[in-house]
Structure 1
């Protein structure tokens, strides 16, 4: 009688072998990233699938940061070039999306420094509420009535106008904090400013937006 034993090492090798032979489209996000990390430069098929899954995330973030830049497609391509070259350095696969967002944000800020000119690098979905200085950036109901649609559009226009009047450093900081969800420390690192300056800019931007929007809401309540 013969016996077959499966050691942890042989099981791991079997799992790795299966991972190598599965089509990229059949892999989970975790396994897909893991496959891309198996070599110093990612497997082309696996990387193409990775781009397909996260392309909309990069495009949306760059749109929020720089809606009027005509070269956003070029920036998106540069983001993926940086990902391709550095993915093997990512140590925690679960943090890939935040790592990707950090690369995108850093690229945007690098370009912003180079251009050194005033522009409005921000477009945000209309917030549902504004309280205690914190903003909820969730999109409104999926099925609003016509009155809600009109009010949302008007509020969105007022929000864009209020944001456009913010100094550039405030607009950029708001994007990094409210949309990208970066910590104060990360924003300070990206913008090469002190932690106190970051907190001050965010507080002042929120205060000014709240004042402008509250004025608009009070005016609307009188009509």
Structure 2
């Protein structure tokens, strides 16, 4: 796997770099907007090195968070992160709407994860439940108050999240994948349909059915 980092020797990514001064950006990269940085990476045969490095600096935390949510127990997430940026470097010129760079980056990260998941033939989908709520649209509020919580309340909260984790892991794979992409990664229905290669209606149906099952499994906590 090619290594790429914020201090990357660019010869490891491409066999040649643009000539010095050729299409160089006028402003310092850190002074440019995200949109302008993407444009700078699209104006030459290969992305402008300084602009691309600045994009990496700004969006690397986003990539790391997505990978952690998808694969918290994988020890090689740093390698996957490197591969994400290699794919971005090679394909950024194909991005038709630079304003949507963050969403596009998220799809690259997610697709890479599922490529690796298929290779490893994992049975269970890794899961992280850092967010206090599973459902972002307000249909179900699973937040348990933690302010000045007693030891008993802390224990009940831990029991709830343990059961939530188990309930999600027991969902059929198609439901589990869809609910994670929607509620933990925050992708739109359209993005999930594109990634999972099913219709928009199927995505909505899977999410609704997954939520119904989770509500049923956790009813004693939600009713309380």
TM-score, scaled relative to structure 2:
0.74
Which protein has the bigger helix share? 1
CA RMSD in angstroms, aligned pairs only: 3.2
1:129-163 deviation per Cα after TM superposition (whole angstroms, max 9, x unaligned): 869983569x888x833449825444333322222
The answer for unaligned runs of 5 or more in structure 2 is 1-23
Which deviates more from structure 2 when the two are superposed, residues 65-74 or residues 84-93?
Answer: 65-74
User: Residue 38 of structure 1: CA displacement?
Assistant: 2.2
Match of 1:108 among 101, 106, 113: 113
1:67-118 deviation per Cα after TM superposition (whole angstroms, max 9, x unaligned): 2222222211111111011111112121111111111111122222223330
Separation in structure 2 between the aligned mates of residue 124 and residue 171 of structure 1, nearest angstrom:
13
The answer for unaligned runs of 5 or more in structure 1 is 1-18
Question: Does residue 1:46 correspond to 2:51, yes or no?
Answer: yes
| Secondary structure at the counterpart of residue 218 of structure 2 | helix
Separation in structure 2 between the aligned mates of residue 70 and residue 131 of structure 1, nearest angstrom:
29
Partner of residue 178, structure 2: 173
Separation in structure 1 between the aligned mates of residue 135 and residue 50 of structure 2, nearest angstrom:
44
Partner of residue 207, structure 1: 212
Partner of residue 191, structure 2: 186
Asked whether the 8 Å contact 2:69–2:185 carries over to 1, the reply is no
Provide closer, same or farther for how the CA distance between residues 207 and 132 of structure 1 changes in structure 2, counting only shifts above 3 A: farther
TM-score, scaled relative to structure 1:
0.75
| Secondary structure at the counterpart of residue 128 of structure 2 | coil
Count residues in correspondence.
200
Question: Does residue 1:144 correspond to 2:147, yes or no?
Answer: yes
Question: Does residue 1:82 correspond to 2:87, yes or no?
Answer: yes
The structure number with the bigger radius of gyration is 1
